[in-house]
Amino acid sequence: MKHIAIGILGAAALGFMASAASAGTLDTVKQKGFIQCGVSTGLAGFSAPDDKGEWKGIDADFCRAVAAAVFGDGSKVKFTPLSAKERFTALQSGEIDILSRNTTWTSNRDSALGLDFVGVTYYDGQGFMINAKKLPGVNSALQLSGAAVCVQSGTTTELNLADYFKKNKMEYNPVVFEKLEEVNAAYDAGRCDAYTTDQSGLYGIRLTLSSPADHVVLPEIISKEPLGPAVRQGDDQWAHIARWTYFALLNAEEAGITQANVDEMKTSTDPNIQRILGTEPDGKYGADLGLSNDWVVNIVKAVGNYGEMFERNVGSGSPLKIARGINALWTKGGLQYGPPIR
């Protein structure tokens, strides 16, 4: 129901909004003193509240990084949990300032939906999970013909699923829910044979099931799912801040700047590190973005570099234990590549 409320609110907001271009998001954010960040309703490793009610995960940390860049304080974020259906309207109508909610970057969303994706914080692909105890002998997605498949509505996942079964001339019946928790509950109760979403999501969801050990993730990856944060179109300054926050996280990892050593790195004489940390004499790379010159120092102090963020939330430091794989830096054979700060 909530998405309709947001839809109507969005429509009303569009109707009553002053037609003159409003002030830039950076000014608005500075004025209210925090960033409103749209996250998922709870996906382990990406954005989920812990037992103290604090949001954890790569997506939540990305918002903290932007807050650190803007305010010098990573805690100046307020989180809005959104279902897959609500997310774009919430951003379009100005209810949130940044959407950091395991969202796939597609051409349609980048153009017709009025969004502007700032980068790929996690390269993912869609997979399937089944209950191996109930379905012994199924070890490939190609054996799933006739299965009932649980999926969240309004996602690229829903579209890929239709494409995959059509392409392989297989039958299935979709069991579609609006909220992630509803899909999880239905799959756990045995309403469907298979669960499909981004593979990283499957590992996170498996941990929340009643008996995680019974479930296996099938080897097939059926799509490209570049997940990343998005901002509203038409505000270049705010888009640059979000985009370069992401690149700063990558550059910090590449230069070996970590949460632990960032203070001593400030005395480094390496010109590259000096440029990144804003210690270069007369450097004003931060100021050019509309930020302070020590913006990267603040980011790394708040959330660490990209690698630290990854390992803490989804990698070896988390229950998910996902390997870096294609999310490693380009120098280590992965796809994560940050354009230089200079």
Partner 1 sequence: MASQEILREEPSRGSFINDPRIRSLFFQTLVVILLFGSIWWIINNVIENLQRLHIASGFQFLKSRAGFDISDTPIAYTSDATYGRALIVGLLNTIIVAVAGIVIATIVGFIIGIGRLSQNWLIRKICTVYVEIFRNIPPLLVIFFWYSGVLAVLPPPRESIHLPFGSFLNQRGFYFPRAIWGDGSWLIGVALLLAIAMAWFVAHKARQRQRATGQQFPVFWTSVALIIGLPVLAFFLGGMPLTFDFPKQSTFNLTGGFWVKPEFLSLLLALSFYTAAFIAEIVRAGIRGVSKGQSEAAAALGLRSGPIMRLVVVPQAMRIVIPPLTSQYLNLTKNSSLAIAIGYPDLTATAGTVLNQTGQAVEGVFIMMIAYLVLSLVTSFVMNIVNARMALVER
| Interacting residue ranges for partner 1, rule: CB under 8 A | 1, 3-4, 6-8, 10-11, 14-17, 19, 21, 84-85, 88-89, 92, 108-109, 111-114, 134-135, 143-148, 153-154, 158-159, 161-163, 166, 172-178, 182, 185-186, 189-191, 193, 232-234
Minimum Å gap between C-beta 180 and partner 1 is 13
**Of the two residues 17 and 207, which places its CB atom closer to partner 1 in the complex?**
17
Amino acid at 208: T
Minimum Å gap between C-beta 113 and partner 1 is 4
Tokens at 326, concatenated: 């294609």
Minimum Å gap between C-beta 73 and partner 1 is 30
**Of the two residues 148 and 217, which places its CB atom closer to partner 1 in the complex?**
148
Tokens at 79, concatenated: 């989180």
**Of the two residues 159 and 216, which places its CB atom closer to partner 1 in the complex?**
159
**Of the two residues 223 and 305, which places its CB atom closer to partner 1 in the complex?**
223
* Residue 119, SS3 per DSSP: coil
Nearest to 99 by CA among 112, 116, 111: 116
Minimum Å gap between C-beta 248 and partner 1 is 27
**Of the two residues 139 and 173, which places its CB atom closer to partner 1 in the complex?**
173
Q: Please give the Cα distance from 113 to 110 (Å, whole number).
A: 6
The DSSP code sequence of 58-106 is: HHHHHHHHHHHHHHS-TT-EEEEE--TTTHHHHHHTTS-SEE-SS-B--
Residue 149 bridge partners (DSSP): 174, 194
Nearest to 314 by CA among 216, 202, 219, 200: 200
**Of the two residues 33 and 190, which places its CB atom closer to partner 1 in the complex?**
190
The separation between CA 195 and the C-alpha centre of its own chain, rounded to angstroms, equals: 20
How far apart are the two ends of the chain, measured CA to CA in Å?
48
CA distances from 115 to 13, 18, 47, 94 (A): 17, 20, 20, 12
CA distances from 257 to 71, 303, 309 (A): 20, 12, 13
- Scan for tokens 């790195």, then name that residue: 265
**Of the two residues 166 and 284, which places its CB atom closer to partner 1 in the complex?**
166
Minimum Å gap between C-beta 159 and partner 1 is 5
User: Which residues are CB-neighbours of 284 under 8 A, at least 6 positions away?
Assistant: 293
Minimum Å gap between C-beta 122 and partner 1 is 21
Minimum Å gap between C-beta 223 and partner 1 is 13
**Of the two residues 29 and 257, which places its CB atom closer to partner 1 in the complex?**
29
Minimum Å gap between C-beta 267 and partner 1 is 45
